[in-house]
Structure 1
Amino acid sequence: MTRIPLPALAALAMLGLAALATPAAAQMPLGDSGLTLTVTPSLSTDYLFRGISQNRNRPTVQGTIDLQHDSGVYIGAFASNVSFPGSNARQELDLAAGYRFALGAATFDLGGIYYTYPGYDAAPGAFDYNYVEALAKASYTAGPVKFVGTAAYSPNFYFESGNAVYLEGGADVTLPGDFSLYGRLGYQWIERNPRYGAPDYANWSVAVSREVVAGITLTVGYYDTSLSKAECFAGTKLCDARAMVTLSRVF
């Protein structure tokens, strides 16, 4: 795999800033094809995956592309800069596909994701970062509250750590003044904990968001895990509690 050069990352950052500054626009129907393209650039103070920092508390530029057909079938991609202790991985690229549908007030998303790290060169005896995961998501809206749940399964999780299961539940609440409140609680089980670098753990978060200008949404949240520093990847701070600020824009 080819490493993405630093100039390309700089260009991605400038593209994200430019996109955030663009006047508001709706999601983009592609003619009469039945396809809708959604693009979401974001800038954040960190990148957290299930409560664990993927960028060592550093600013992160990210982008998501989603292409969905009227039938509910979709494909998508997510890209972000990353930084792990003792690793030359600098980018993450995730490829997704699945099917979305609604049953009454409930919506469902059944799909899968391939997590990749272009440019990462595993040292002799090291394990692969890439892995696949099947996901099932559901949500149910009742008035101002949307209840959400996620179940994920990987047959060979990150760092070749074997079977892994993740369950998460929470709620999104619409508040007065165009504010939204989000709460999540999740738990990650991993078959080969020593190889992964941490025991099974819980993670939780609470965040508030609001559109601030021209379709740009500001999100401020608090995130934490049940892992102590000693349990977190040989004594790192990747699992510590932290506040995170994100600016995002949906096209």
Structure 2
Amino acid sequence: MNKTILSVAAVLAIGAGSASAADLPAKVYTKAPVLAPAFNPWDIAFGTSISSEYLFRGISQSNQKPSVSGYFEPRYNVTKDLQLYVGVSGSSISFANRAAMELDVYGGIRPTFGALAFDFGIWGYLYPGGQCIGGCPGADVIANGNFMKKDVSFYEGYGKVNWTVNDMFAVGLNEFYTPSFLNSGAWGNYTSITGKFTAPSSIFGSSDVGMYVSGEFGRQWLGTSDAFYGTTIASPTGGGPFPNGIKYKDYNTWNLGVGFTYKVFALDLRYTDTDLSKADCNAFTSDFTAGFSADYSSINPGGYGSKWCGSRFTAKLSADVTLQNNIK
């Protein structure tokens, strides 16, 4: 009797053990998960260009001759939608005061909200190596009588917004302000609107090749200069003299161009113009090449006219690289 009970108990125990083992989950062998690359907040952008002429808001800064430039811009991405940046850039110029170059230093913040990309910052324009022309004791003089300060460095505060409508269209609005444009004593305010069409990459059959059409319309408002740029001569057409400074002429500028891109390279072909007269252009730029042309205005009584503000076509070849996007 006892042996029978023990035998039954043993069978039940073995059965129970077999049932428990069957209920255990089978081992599943899977591939190791692919880890996303760690977020790197740092980036650097840099580039260089050569252009047939350096234009700034429609006005020649290189005496209608070719110019080279380059920039270096470290960036810190706080998040994917917030970037901090600083930068330095340089361009070859040709000013009446014989400044060696234009050296720019700048910094700001770029927040993004969906399709809207903002940019706020301060931009400093430095012109080292200049000398006083015409308006200082013992200074060199220019045959056309124009003069320029030794130091024409200045800074601007700016705000920009760009709306990416879709993969092809984008529009923008820009605003710049300085208390003393080119250290002239005259405040300056520049506002512009921009538009850009980017052709679909499918047209070229390669993502490395692209094309765009872009344009800008802007208006530059300007205040009254200090006495250094004043004139003690009355204009034959009326107005003046203005010994305490001249009220620079406000003007409009516009450009339209087409660009072709290949990887990091871009070729930009552009038409640019302003509505400044040769007389008011001469008074504003102190153009050392201006010749007598009987172009008079109230602030330009000498009759010299400048071609630095007229219509022209320019070509620019540039290369732009960002470490995270282009260096692998």
TM-score, with structure 1 as normaliser: 0.82
SS of alignment partner, residue 239 of structure 1:
coil
Tell me if structure 1 keeps the 8 A contact 2:222–2:247: no
Q: CA deviation at 1:32?
A: 7.8
Query: Quick one: higher RCO (CA 8 Å, sep 6+), 1 or 2?
Result: 1
Q: CA deviation at 1:34?
A: 2.3
Tell me if structure 2 keeps the 8 A contact 1:161–1:196: no
Q: Which runs of 5+ in 1 are unaligned?
A: 1-30
- 1:220 and 2:269 matched: yes
- 1:230 and 2:279 matched: yes
SS of alignment partner, residue 230 of structure 1:
helix
Amino acid of the structure 1 residue aligned with 2:315: V
SS of alignment partner, residue 49 of structure 2:
strand
Q: Which runs of 5+ in 2 are unaligned?
A: 1-37, 137-147, 204-209, 231-244, 284-304, 322-328
Tell me if structure 1 keeps the 8 A contact 2:125–2:153: yes
Residue 62 of structure 2 is matched in structure 1 by 55
- RMSD of the alignment, in Å? 2.0
Q: For residues 69 and 35 of structure 1, do their structure 2 counterparts lie closer, same or farther at Cα, with a shift above 3 Å needed?
A: same
Which 4+ runs in 1 deviate beyond 6 A? none
Amino acid of the structure 2 residue aligned with 1:180: Y
SS of alignment partner, residue 88 of structure 1:
coil
Residue 223 of structure 2 is matched in structure 1 by 191
Q: Which has the larger radius of gyration?
A: 2
- 1:163 and 2:187 matched: yes
Tell me if structure 1 keeps the 8 A contact 2:179–2:185: no
Give the distance between the partners of 2:247 and 2:98, measured in 1 at CA: 18
Give CA deviations for 1:109-136 in whole Å, capped at 9, x if unaligned. 0000110001112345453311110000
Amino acid of the structure 1 residue aligned with 2:132: A
Residue 258 of structure 2 is matched in structure 1 by 208
Of residues 90, 112, 117, the one that matches 1:79 is 90
Aligned ranges for residues 67-216 of structure 1 at < 5 Å? 67-71=74-78, 72-84=83-95, 86-123=96-133, 124-125=135-136, 126-127=148-149, 128-143=151-166, 144-176=168-200, 177=203, 178-192=210-224, 198-212=248-262, 215-216=264-265
Give the number of equivalent residue pairs.
Answer: 219
Give the distance between the partners of 2:178 and 2:246, measured in 1 at CA: 13
Q: CA deviation at 1:140?
A: 0.3
Give CA deviations for 1:123-177 in whole Å, capped at 9, x if unaligned. 4545331111000011001121111111011011114232211101011111254
Q: CA deviation at 1:197?
A: 8.3
Identity of paired residues, percent? 31
Tell me if structure 1 keeps the 8 A contact 2:224–2:248: no
Residue 66 of structure 1 is matched in structure 2 by 73
